[in-house]
Structure 1
Amino acid sequence: MADTESGVIARAAALLKVLETQPHGVSLSQLARLSGLPRTTVHRLVASLEAQQFVSQGSGGVSLGPAMARLAAAAHTDVTALARPCIEALGRRTRETVDLCVFRGLHAISVDQYPCDQELRVVSPIGTAFPIHTTAHGKALLAALPTAEQAALLSGTLERRTARTLCEPAALRAELALIQRRGYAQDEEEHAGGVCGLGVALVTAGSARYALSLAVPAYRFAAQAEELLRALVQCKAEIEALAGQ
């Protein structure tokens, strides 16, 4: 590969690494300062990366784009394959939708799913990026992070998806402390009206962080919650055993 091509790739990678640590987005001038690259170079690279959806530009500045979410999903096929038999067994046992997600900044990205077989069910496309503070799997991932990382992620304005979404820092911190104590997270219509969920963080080899969850229509959640939780925790143990944890 030519040196100029290698240089372009290295500079683009430097920008993406900076954006990975800036989930709320940064301006072009901030991106230039943080990456140590000239502003004209940053402007040119951002335009090229945006054309391929690797970055996005909005009111909050430049941030990682949807193509990065798709790459994140594709990069985790080994864990997906490892967990798949357990996920299928959990789906058959509970008859509710099972989701496997990976942590990515301010989002939990779906990398696998076993859909519910009942007429009324909760399903989302693979690759969906869920705001990390609004779902059971997202909050489970968030609660598993060191306190300093939590604080950095939650330092900006958080999206309110429903009237029940926890956006206030004090309330969210209290929720995360509760999740840490009891070992699982719960979503009661915080991401979408009529949808509830249970989620647990997985301990697997490697640096990637995963979570497993059950998505359940709200009208049948309360009556099944304890049974669903037992099945979810059992599935977590099975996956972690396969992963050598």
Structure 2
Amino acid sequence: MTTHFVMHPKFTVFEKALHEVLLDFETSGDYVTKGDRNVIKKVTLDGQTFNIKRFKTPNLAQSLVYRFLRKSKAKRSFEYASLLIEKGIKTPFPVAYLENFSGGLKDSYYVSEHVAYDFDFRVLNHNPRWPNRAEILKQMAAFTFQLHENSINFLDHSPGNTLIKHRGEGAYDFYLIDLNRMRFETLNLDQRMHNFRRLWLSKTMINIMAKEYASLFGTSEKETHALMTKHSREFQKKVNSKKLRKRRRK
């Protein structure tokens, strides 16, 4: 088995310790999430806290694709995070990634700096009375506009993938996570509104966000609202239909 380990120059002082943690991932750190697909752990070294994401072991065909044809999810996460930061988009700082190969890709890990955030976008979906909700939604629309203006199509733009930190005085910072699926392309209005679909927006949320986005982009509020509603409802209907089919099969 061969190992490929890349470290950001800013964190080379942690290189040896982090490498050891990654090689002994099962017994290192504390679990943040332990899913069927991916596992995230948190580890603290000399007062510095890192999050480590281990991606699901690919099947044989996928492992060969990741070895010879496509970058691993860990490598993409590291590179995309670096690109986002260059463009002024916040994301937990990319620290390192590690790939283990045995024929094809065996497993991979992405390490980022831990961000002490206050909540994620999901609370706005589930809590209509969340403090300052309308203002946060406006700022989230502006944040998404910033992505689009930088030709970033974040394909996993969903409620759990934006962390929100309150800076005080009604100002919020937004951090993207789960970065391995992105396209970098110029987006028209329809494509921009399509990118909102996974956020699972209610009518009230669309009213607020479409108005804010239209003012920033210089487009008609009516057209922006109609497209955001269309793509959101189509996505929600598709997901709900899939869930209904699964329940019927049980």
TM-score, normalisation: structure 2: 0.25
Structure number with the higher strand fraction is: 2
